[in-house]
Each structure stands twice: as structure tokens, then as C-alpha cells.
Amino acid sequence: MRRPALTLALQAYRTGLWIGEPAVAGVLAWRAYRGKEDPRRVAERRGLPGRARPVGPLVWMHGASVGEVLSLVALVEGMIARGYSVLVTTGTRSAADLIGSRLPPGAVHQYVPLDAPRWIERFLDHWQPDLAVVAESEIWPNTILALDSLNIPLILVNGRMSERSFRGWERSPRTAEALLSRFAVCLAQTEEDAARFAKLGAPRVSIVGNLKFDAPVPPADPQQLSYLGSMMAGRPVWVAASTHQGEDAAVAQAHATLKARFPNLLTVLAPRHPRRGAEAAACAEAAGLTSARRSAGGRPHPNIDLYVADTIGEMGLFYRLSPLVFLGGSLVPRGGQNPIEPVRLDTAVLHGPHTGNFTQVYDALDRAGGAASVADGAELADFVGQLLADGRRLAQMAKLGQRALVPFEGAVARTLAVLDPFVAQMKLLGLHAVHRDRA
């Protein structure tokens, strides 16, 4: 099928990043200096490989940040079970730190190169993937065009397009079509996502559901689970997870409000970005609370009111230690955070009104009674107090939440079923290459 021609906007984008590569390199160096890039591996962001390519057919899977890449783990395992190596790329340090311990043998991790033409070409020349899979809403023009020029099939999985993003792309429909038409398949989470991708020019769109419903629960170190569990024993505990700026103070104030009623209350506050640990601790101090930071070796001793869990990859630990979690990014307009993991770990969920990133799952949880919405910090304190005083209600919420997730499961199997014909083609091409080499 003939691809739509590149628009002037795409041509300008490609030319600008080609000419402006030194400036992009300067931005990358500045980010490394600020700690936003891993200085030991920053060359990978320029397409320079950090290790050798595995022998044989290779699937490249990309998830930009923590949520996206974790949703790919089951697909990675599925490809390895089918006999293929997998290259997993991420764009953030937190995702790289987390995914390193989650990947099975047969998968390797690299940072994804920035979308500069020479860097993408260098990356593809080394890794030579037979199939490319990207998660959710990663639409990088130069990467898409480079894969298309090499006839490497590109598949969008767990596809998501917000109304805001759709309206933005609608203002440049020819550019959107020129890019989306180069995807072999777009697998969308919902009917709304599928309709938006199709309207913008994606030629083959299917609805398979959300991979995050099938993602494995986050692990927990058994020793830490036992140690912290014994330290917290006998105390009412709740977790405020993935909080953003503006929410830490509300959480600290909620604890201060509840302290007279629950003198030994422990609040575990896990900021979305661990580097904000000192800021979260300062909010506790401003509310007249004692705090300790996990990253600094602090522990939730009996005299600690607010324990700042400013580390990476330990949410599975704290979800297991608490019957109640408030998920941040929802009292402030950030779209909310994924509630699936805590629900699957027997935790009742509270959230604010801003949950646009996960509308479908929050609606289902709220209707079932497995989650509840709070309007502000005062209502958060009120709800936390009600639930901590009623263990039976907490346990019932957790059960209802798990039940609400069941109808959404199965996206991994449906996605692998779509990928299998591409995998079969890879196998066929591999056999042809072997016969050609022997001849």
C-alpha cells in the first residue's frame, strides 16, 4: 500500500533535528548533569549501543516510562517463550532502574535514542530488529519513518490517545495520517482510543483491552516485608502513593487532622518522583509531624508520623503493608495514577477527581465499591479516618475492587494472538536466510 507523502511539517522536523543535532546533544549533556539522564549510559541516547546484539531474530519493544514498560513484561515473556530475543528500551531513568530487575533471561535493556535521524539510524543499524513494538502513545516521526524505510513492521500495543492529544493531531490531519499509516497494526485499549486512531489515519485498528490489567504484581523483598511488617505491627497504616507537587502537603495535613483520633497512625508517603523526598519531608515538618526518609536510611520507628518512601521499585512492598492507599496525581490535574497494582494486592483505593489517564478502570472500581473519590485534602482525611476505623469495610472494598478488574483481563493473550503472524513471518524469513547462507 502506498504511503502518504511527508508533509512540510514532517520535512521541517526531520531537517531541523538533522541540522540541530549538536544542540540536542547539548541538551542531553545538560540533562545528564542535572541527573535526568544516566551519565554512564548517556551514549545510548545518541544511538550508540551499550552491548552486543543477540544472535538470531530480535523483537524491539519500547515503553517510555515506568507504567508503559511494565505493561510490556508479559509480552516480552511471550516472545521469549516463542524463541526470540527481545530488546527493551525506555526513556526515563526510573523506568530503566526498575525494569532491569524485572526482565527475564533472553531480554536486554537499552535507553531509547532521541528522535534525531542519525541517532535512530545508528541504533537500527546495530540492533537490526525484525519487529518493533511500542506502547501506548509513542509517536516519534523520525523513528517511524526510519522503520518504514527498512520495512521493519511497527506495531502499537496498549494504544491510548486522550481527547486532548486527539484534538492536537486533528489540527494537522495530513501529518497524523502520514505517521499513523506507517504502523502495521494499532491495538487500542478502548473503543474511544480505537476511534481516534482510525479517524487520524491508522489503517488497521483493533480493540484488545489494557495490558496493565494482566501485568504481574510488583514484587517485594521478603526480608524487608518481614522487617517493616514487624516494625509497623499494631499501628494503623495508610499509603499515599505517587504523589505530585501540591499533594504532599494535603497528605501531611490529613495525618495531622487524624492524629488526635489515631495517636500511633503511620502515613507512608511515596512521591511520584523520588528526588522530591526532601520536599515531602518538609511538608511533614510544616504540619508539625515527625518524618524519616527511606532513601537516607530512615525507618518507621514508633515516634515517626510520616515515612517518606523516596526509593524506586518498592511500591509492591508498601502496598502489601497497608490495607488502604491514596493514589496521587488526582487531587491535582495530572490525570491520576494506575490503581490496578494496589487493588490486586488487596488494597482499598482512594483518589481525587482528576483520573483522566485511567478513566475506564477508575469508573469500574468506583461503581463496584472498590475505590472512592475524594474532592480535596479535608475529604481525604475524613475518608481515611472512616476506613481505618472500620476494618470490615476496608476488607470488603479490597474484595470488590479485585472483582471489578476481572472483566478487563485477557489483553495479553489477545495482543500475542495479533503478534503471532508477524512472529511466524520472522521465523520464515529466518529459515530462508539459513538456507541462503548454506547454499
Q: Label residue 432 by pLDDT band (50, 70, 90).
A: very low
Distance CA 204, CA 223 (A): 48
Of 213, 64, 87, 78, the closest CA to residue 135 belongs to: 64
* DSSP state string for 207-262: E---GGGTSPPPP--HHHHHHHHHHHTTS-EEEEEEE-TTTHHHHHHHHHHHTTTS
C-alpha cell at 321: 503493608
Q: What is the pLDDT of residue 35?
A: 87
DSSP string, 58-115: EEEEE-SSHHHHHHTHHHHHHHHHTT-EEEEEESSHHHHHHHTTTPPTTEEEEEPPPS
Under DSSP, is residue 304 helix (H, G, I), strand (E, B) or coil? coil
Q: What percent of the chain has pLDDT over 70?
A: 97
pLDDT tens for 153-172 read 999 999 999 888 999 999 99
Query: Cell numbers of 227, please?
Result: 522487617
Residue 326 parent element (H or E):
strand 324-327
Give the model confidence (pLDDT) of 367-397 as tens digits: 999 999 999 999 999 999 999 999 999 999 9
Domains, in order of start, for the chain: 8-214+410-438 (3.40.50.11720), 222-408 (3.40.50.2000)
For the stretch 86-144, pLDDT in tens is 999 999 988 998 888 789 999 999 999 999 999 999 999 999 999 999 999 889 999 99
- Asked whether residue 197 carries a pLDDT value surpassing 90, the answer given is yes
The arithmetic mean of pLDDT across residues 5-32, rounded, is: 94
Contact 96, 312 (CB under 8 A): no
Section 252-262 average pLDDT:
97
Residue 434 confidence (pLDDT) above 70: no
pLDDT at 1: 58
pLDDT at residue 101, as a whole number: 79
51 has a pLDDT exceeding 90: yes
pTM metric for this prediction: 0.85
User: pLDDT tens-digit profile of 293-324?
Assistant: 999 999 999 999 999 999 988 999 999 999 99
Please, which residues bridge with residue 410 across strands? none
Sign for the CA dihedral angle at 47, 50, 56, 60 comes to negative
* Average of per-residue pLDDT values in the chain: 93
Question: What is the pLDDT at residue 67?
Answer: 86
Mean pLDDT, range 55-68, rounded to an integer: 92
For range 17-37, the mean pLDDT: 93
Q: Is the pLDDT at 342 greater than 60, yes or no? A: yes
- Selected catalytic residue, list 68, 247, 314, 341: 68
Confidence of residue 439 (pLDDT cuts 50, 70, 90): very low
37 catalytic per annotation: no
